[in-house]
Amino acid sequence: MGKLRAAGLVSARRSSADARDAYYTVDLGRFGELLAQAGRAVHPGLRLAPAPPLVPAAPAGRTAARLLFLCTGNSARSQIAEALAVARSAGRVEAHSAGSRPKPVHPNVVRVLRERGIEVGSRQPKHLSTFAAHRFGYVITLCDKVREVCPEFPGHPGCIHWSIPDPAASGGDDDATLPAFRDTARTGSAKSAPTAGPGPSWTAPGPPPSGLSSAPPSRWPAR
């Protein structure tokens, strides 16, 4: 683990809800780059084939997978994750977002999504109780604090936790926090990549896509 962290392939951060917990993140993109370099070193003809950025839209009559992204304020992380999931899935995903203590959507959310060609219009924050009676395939918490208070949802959806820092808490005005929001968008894009690829695992509760963690019955996963 020490060598992986020293090489920048694995990073760690303490939970904002309980500093005794640590979350580890694997940089799959960097792993892919190194694998490609190793292949070229073995033989010039060995290379990784790039995955298509989007999959075809969901066939007629097929219900799109339903995802719910949660963070504390529903003002930054979960809004970005929702927009990325919808934009990248080509109709395979119906995404929503909410928070335990909603507050106005941060202006930098609109800025970083627009940089990625995603127009979100006028978004309003929502309390997680808005979806208390809704069924989802997966409920994804992006905030360590909301993970601790997340309620049970009908139908026993798959539970996934992404520990992502609050970009608005990086300090300063909107221009000063913009780099942190860009980092959040990059992280959200990398983690939501499975929504853009084929696979039925997003359509119903069960083992999540490769690279994600499903929750054991009594506890949400550390991710």
Residues carrying an active site annotation: 71, 143, 150
Identify the CA nearest to 112 among candidates 54, 165, 180. Answer: 180
Please state, as a whole number, how many other Cβ atoms lie within 10 Å of the Cβ of residue 34. Answer: 13
Amino acid letter, 9 = L
What are the structure tokens assigned to 100, written together? 């335990």
Tokens of 113: 């999504």
- Three-class DSSP labels, the chain: CHHHHHCCCEEEEECCCCCCCEEEEECHHHHHHHHHHHHHHHCCCCCCCCCCCCCCCCCCCCCCEEEEEEECCCCCHHHHHHHHHHHHHCCCEEEEEEECCCCCCCHHHHHHHHHCCCCCCCCCCCEHHHHCCCCCCEEEECCHHHHHHCCCCCCCCEEEECCCCCHHHHCCCHHHHHHHHHHHHHHHHHHCHHHHCCCHHHCCCCCCCCCCCCCCCCCCCCC
